[in-house]
Amino acid sequence: MELLLHHYWGSNYAEKARLILGLKGLTWGSVIIPDIMPKPDLVVLTGGYSKTPVLQIGADIYCDTKRIADELETRFPQPTLYPDGATGIGRVVQYWADGAFTLAGGRYLMGRSHERWPAEFHADRAALWGVPVDLDRMVRSAERYRQQLAAYLEWIAMMLADGRRFLHGEKPGLADVSVSHILWFLETGGEKATDILIPFASIREWLARVRTIGHGTMRESSAAQAIAIARAATPQTVAAVDPANVEGLAIGNTVSVRAEIAGRDPVIGSLLLLSGQHVAVAIENETVGRVVVHFPRVGYVVGCA
Ligand SMILES: N[C@@H](CCC(=O)N[C@@H](CS)C(=O)NCC(=O)O)C(=O)O
């Protein structure tokens, strides 16, 4: 079954997903989505989740790069995302890198170079976070985020201090793709944002190595093709709800899955899978038929709808 990545080229989380596809040497179809709302061809597949990227495999739809990484690791174990065998540490580094580290990097970039994006983009992102657009505040906070980012970069330099090629050791893995995407994104702001990397030669050299992972083999696809594929396919997810789940939920319950921060529109569907790391709900509509939408547990709230 073909892998389809719904993404746009400028997205840093999408760059993380593209590098995972590259690390595993996979072939995938590229479906370009808009970088601001509305995204009708995407949300019809996800039931409302609108963030970037989303991975589609037939009628199974994977939201969030944490779920995408776990899914690809299960389906395509080699080359592994954990070349040092440290599956726990890799995921903890990912959680910090996609969270606090990316927030500091993103806010520093925007504070330094907000003029590179149009007003509609800033309005879209403010709505995503549920805050008013305030470019002056963005500019003022840049120095504070710069300090945070510099402190974090010292940690990365410490990881590389023994001369290792990648954060896991000799081979690239999940920590590399997670830590690198926001630093890749700084380039969008030009020298005004990448200046922060000047004192960190080992990090710049490591970033150049991460880039050589590449994106695997990509072919262009379209939203219409993706929808037709979902419609023609049957979801492959096997129903499995952990009976001891703290929410007291059972297969078939109508539930909502909502991100803890930013982009909190709930996805409402019929519960199909619930485990410690993974939640999936079935949704149905006239355009795509029945599809199953998957999320990580971490960072998402599951509740009765
Ligand atoms: N936790 C999510 C975060 C995804 C995310 O925030 N992506 C950004 C783009 S890099 C986004 O969706 N922004 C709003 C948009 O693209 O419309 C993940 O790991 O996939």
Q: What is the pLDDT of residues 66-115, one digit of tens each?
A: 999 999 999 999 999 999 999 999 999 999 999 999 999 999 999 999 99
Mutational pocket test of ligand 1: of 9, 52, 55, 184, the residue with most ligand atoms within 8 Å of the beta carbon: 52
* Domain boundary pick from 171, 192, 211: 211
- Same domain for 259 and 294: yes
**Rounded to a whole number, what is the distance in angstroms from the first to the last CA of the chain?**
32
Query: How far apart are the C-alpha atoms of 193 and 152, rounded to whole Å?
Result: 15
Angle among Cα 129, 133, 137 to the nearest 5 degrees reads: 100
Using the 3D structure, point to which of 181, 211, 241 is the last residue of a domain.
211
Query: For position 186, what pLDDT does the model report?
Result: 97
Going 302 to 11 to 287 to 48, the CA torsion angle's sign is: positive
Helix (H) or strand (E) holding 75: helix 65-75
The answer to whether 183 and 204 are in contact (CB under 8 A) is: no
In this predicted structure, what is the pLDDT of residue 263? 75
Q: What's the CA gap between 19 and 32, in Å, rounded? A: 17
Q: What is the pLDDT of residue 239?
A: 97
Instruction: Identify the residue whose C-alpha is closest to ligand 1 atom 10.
Output: 11
Query: pLDDT value at position 305?
Result: 86
pLDDT for 181 equals 98
Which residues of the chain register pLDDT less than 70? none
> E strands within 15-133?
27-32, 54-57, 60-63
> Which of these three, 185, 211, 237, is where a domain ends?
211
Residues 207 and 113 in one domain: yes
Mutate to test the pocket of ligand 1, among 5, 11, 15, 43 (most ligand atoms within 8 A of CB): 11
- Name all residues whose Cβ lies below 6 A of ligand 1: 11-13, 35-36, 50-52, 64-66, 98, 128
Q: Do residue 16 and residue 69 come from a single domain?
A: yes
46 C-alpha to ligand 1 centroid (Å):
14
114 and 156 co-located in one domain:
yes
Q: What is the mean pLDDT of the chain?
A: 97
pLDDT of 214 reads: 98
User: Do 108 and 180 reside in the same domain of the chain?
Assistant: yes
Range of the domain at 228: 3-79+218-304
Cβ neighbour number for residue 164 with a 10 Å cutoff: 15
Total structural domains in the chain?
2
Which of 7, 9, 13, 95 for a ligand 1 pocket mutation test, highest count of atoms within 8 Å of Cβ? 13
Global pTM exceeds 0.85: yes
Q: Give the contacts of 238 (CB within 8 A, at least 6 positions apart).
A: 273
Q: Any idea what the CATH number is for the domain that residue 27 is in?
A: 3.40.30.110
Return the C-alpha torsion angle 96, 99, 104, 108, nearest 10.
130
Question: Which pLDDT belongs to residue 262?
Answer: 84
Nearest CA to ligand 1 atom 13: 51
* Gap from CA of 244 to ligand 1 centroid (Å): 31
DSSP-based helix, strand, coil % in the chain, nearest 5:
45, 20, 35
Per the omega criterion (within 30 degrees of 0), is the bond before 199 cis?
no
Distance 36 CA to ligand 1 centre (A): 11
Query: Which is nearest to 41 in space by CA: 218, 231, 217, 215?
Result: 231
pLDDT over 90 percentage in the chain: 96
